[in-house]
Amino acid sequence: MILVMSSDTIYTYINVLCNARFAMGIEDVIFLHITGISTGIRADQAEDLKKDIQNRIEELAKTQKIYAQLQDSINFGRIIKIQDKNIGYDLAKLVRKLSTSNKYIIDITPTTKAASQLVLAACLVNGLRNLYEFHLYKRIERNNPLASLYHNLNQSDFKYVHLSEEPALREAYDNVKRKNILSLLAIVISIIILLLSVIFNMFSRISIASLLSAVASLATIVSLGLQFSQTRHT
């Protein structure tokens, strides 16, 4: 799991981690901090926040078995820092690396609006469809925050929303995919026209058979390009 960090609310992270481990079967978590935008924590505070989360889970594990199980069964990985201007490329690269050996999800629950919008845009452009958010329906009691912690929640108190499958976002993903395919097709057609122009200029007496062979080869390139584009965005 890639867990985006931009909030200092520790209990939010704990709820997300518990649900990811026990409901989704996630065993490894990487923390992602986006630099260059306004977030709830600075880049130099990210490591301390991670330690605070782990320490709080350790304290809870003394009295609640579920947190002891969480502590023993989930791997707290490193913190990766990505510049906001590079998030599209770097996030896609990170996902490709993780998805070769592990099931991955991207969670934006503990994020500011600015950070979540950046991640959402990056996911849309790159066709990354495993975007999630923990929606807590139970009202948080200021005097008793433990009441809103995972071990005190019923199934009706929360929902782990697969944002990428929400109707509006699913339509947005499909629109981006269609635009990418059309853009690729336009580029390939331009290349075809350019190559044919070069061929005609080089060989004014080119045979029909040779021309058809060239067109067939270029058509194959178009087909492979479209297949690659479709595979990349599924």
**pLDDT (tens digit, 0 to 9) for every residue of the chain, 234 residues total?**
999 998 889 999 999 999 999 999 999 999 999 888 766 788 888 999 999 999 999 999 999 999 999 999 999 999 999 988 888 889 989 988 887 656 789 999 998 888 888 888 888 878 788 889 999 998 888 788 889 999 999 999 999 999 878 776 666 556 655 555 555 555 555 555 555 555 555 555 555 555 555 555 555 555 555 555 555 544
Beta strands across the sheet bearing 2-5: 75-83, 28-35, 2-5, 106-107, 131-136, 158-162
Q: Which of 56, 76, 74 shows the shortest CA–CA distance to 64? A: 56
Indicate the CATH number of 2-165 among 3.40.50, 1.10.3470, 2.40.350, 1.10.10.
Answer: 3.40.50
Res 170: pLDDT: 63
What are the boundaries of each domain within the chain?
A: 2-165, 171-232
Strand partners, 80: 32
pLDDT attached to residue 97: 85
Give the residue among 95, 96, 69, 139 at the shortest CA–CA distance from 4.
95
Tokens 């070069």 sit at which residue? 198
- Paired tokens of 232: 């990349």
- Cα–Cα distance measured from residue 142 to residue 1, given in angstroms and rounded to the nearest whole number: 29
Query: How far is it, in rounded angstroms, from Cα 171 to Cα 228?
Result: 21
**What pLDDT score was predicted for residue 216?**
56
**Count of other CB atoms within 10 angstroms of residue 74:** 19
How many whole angstroms separate alpha carbon 158 and alpha carbon 13? 14
